[in-house]
Every structure is written in structure tokens, then in C-alpha cells.
Amino acid sequence: MKSLLFIISIFIPLASLFANEALLIEGKYQNKNIYVQNSYNDNGVGFCAYEVYVNGNRTTDEVNSSAFEIDLRPYNMVQGDKVEIQIYHNNGCQPRVLNPEALKPRPTFTTKTITISALGMLSWTSSGEAGSLPFIVEQYRWNKWIYVGEVVGEGKPGDHQYSFQVTPHSGENRFRVKQVGFGKEVKYTPEVTFTPKDKPTLSFVQSNDSKTITISSESLYEMYDAYGNVVLKGYGTKVDLSDFVKGNYYFCYDDKVVDIKRK
């Protein structure tokens, strides 16, 4: 009988644990602690959250209060390490994390070098990354910075080298790289410029019926309507306007912006 009572005494708290819920928070360590607002149980007696685990380890933080702090410093993490927090709480209520952005990657990198070769290979070296974010490559074209492509960042301490093959236009080209973090926080590399030697200035002709544009060589292109809305994007030498309604448009190709008309 004593053995049976002992087994029951073990399984009752385990059953109670699995009957309740866990709030899961995941991210990367950013040298910041987590703050939690702890509500009362739905019966008004006691607090909602009762146990916290960080990366599988039960914390010693005092959670029996209306607000508490989850101290991440004792776990010997370095900036960018993975963090998984489980906040166990009773049914019918839920604690609220006050600063979830504390585990979101931020653009903290430092540009050590950035160069571009005569063939358009953009290369850069970064350090101080605090979480994996994409490096977004941009080119200044048509009087604005446009998206060209991206490379996934390592998100770890140390120096990291990246490269991206760009598609230049004729004349001087300007490129930069950026990262965008939580809350749209942005950080840029310095700009680099180069002028391709074998890239002639391009031209175009529009057919007599105005339904086709032919570019003298392959190029990125965009088409905007009279209100500035993008209506077409592509790459090549042929631009089909047969489905366009009649009116005025802005045609962007090579490094130029010109007015055209669909008759």
C-alpha cells in the first residue's frame, strides 16, 4: 500500500504539470534579460506562472509576483547564442512577455572591408554579428536604391566574408549592403562604385504600334504608370506592352528613366 501511495504521489504533480500550459519564447541572446508581467490565476488566488526553464534548465528566478525578471546571465551565453525559454503557467491565464524584442537579432555588424571587382563581384567582410539576418544588396539605379539580392548572414562572433555577383548598368555603378532588424532598425555598409569597361550605353526603340520595346542589349527594366505604380519588371531585350491600357508610362532601363506612350 505504501508503494502504491508513493507512486500516486509522484504521478499527481506530473499530471498537474502536463495539464497546464507553457509559453514558449525563442530567439538569440542579445545581452539582455527578459521581463514578464505575471497575472493572477483565473480564480483570483495565486499567480499564473509558476516555473521557468531556459534552454532546458530550470531557473532560480522568483516568479511568485506580479512581475519578474528572467536572468539569462548565469547560462554563460555569448551574443548570438540560441535561447529557448519555457514559462509554465496555470490554465485559464497567461503571463505576458514585456520585451520580446530582447531576443530578436539586431543589425550590429561592423564593415571591415567592402570591395567590388572589375567583373562586378561585390565582396565584404563583417564582424560583430549578433544573430542571423540577411545581408541585402542594393544598387542605386533610376534615382533610387533598388533591391538586387541577398546573402544570409552567419550571425556569429568573428569575421565573416561574403560575396555577391551584381549586374551592372553602363556608366558608374553604386552599391551598398544593409541589414534590417526588429522594428525596422537598419544598418548599412559604406557604398562602393565601379564603372564596367565593356558595358556600352544602351538605347531602345518602340514599335510603330507602341506594343513592343526593344532594348539594344540585355538589361534590367521596370515600367511605372502615370501614378508611380510598378506595372512591369523584367530582364532582357524585349518588353511586351500589348496588354497595357493606353496612356503615359515611365520606362526604366540601364541607368535611364524615359517617358513613353502606349497608343
CB 54 within 8 A of CB 61: no
> Which sequence spans correspond to the domains of the chain?
2-103, 110-194, 204-262
CA distance linking residue 85 with residue 77, whole number of Å: 14
For residue 6, pLDDT beyond 80: no
Quote the CA–CA distance of 83 and 80 in Å, as a whole number.
9
Whether the Cβ atoms of residue 262 and residue 245 lie closer than 8 Å to each other: yes
Model confidence over 65-115: pLDDT tens digits?
Answer: 999 999 999 999 988 888 999 999 999 899 999 999 899 888 999 999 999
* Phi-psi map region of 18: left, alpha, beta (phi>0 left; psi -120 to 50 alpha): alpha
Cell of 35: 521581463
Say how far apart CA 148 and CA 184 lie, in whole Å. 19
pLDDT at 2: 45
Helix (H, G, I), strand (E, B) or coil at 53: strand
Whether the predicted pLDDT of 152 surpasses 70: yes
Q: Among candidates 126, 129, 128, 130, which has minimal Cα distance to 103?
A: 130
What is the mean predicted confidence (pLDDT) over 10-19?
40
Q: Please, which residues have CB within 8 angstroms of residue 23's CB and are 6 or more apart in sequence? A: 49, 86, 87, 89, 94, 95, 97
Chain centroid offset of residue 52 CA? 29
SS3 107: coil
- Kindly report the CATH class assigned to 204-262: mainly beta
Q: What is the pLDDT of residues 30-78, one digit of tens each?
A: 889 999 999 888 887 889 999 999 999 999 989 999 999 999 999 999 8
Distance between CA atoms of residues 242 and 253, nearest Å:
19
End-to-end CA distance of the chain: 95
Angle at 124 between CA 121 and CA 125, to 5 degrees: 150
| Confidence (pLDDT) at 19 | 47
SS3 category, 143:
coil
Classified as helix, coil or strand, 165 is strand
Domains 110-194 and 204-262 are alike in CATH topology: yes
DSSP state of 40: B
CATH topology assigned to domain 110-194: Immunoglobulin-like (2.60.40)
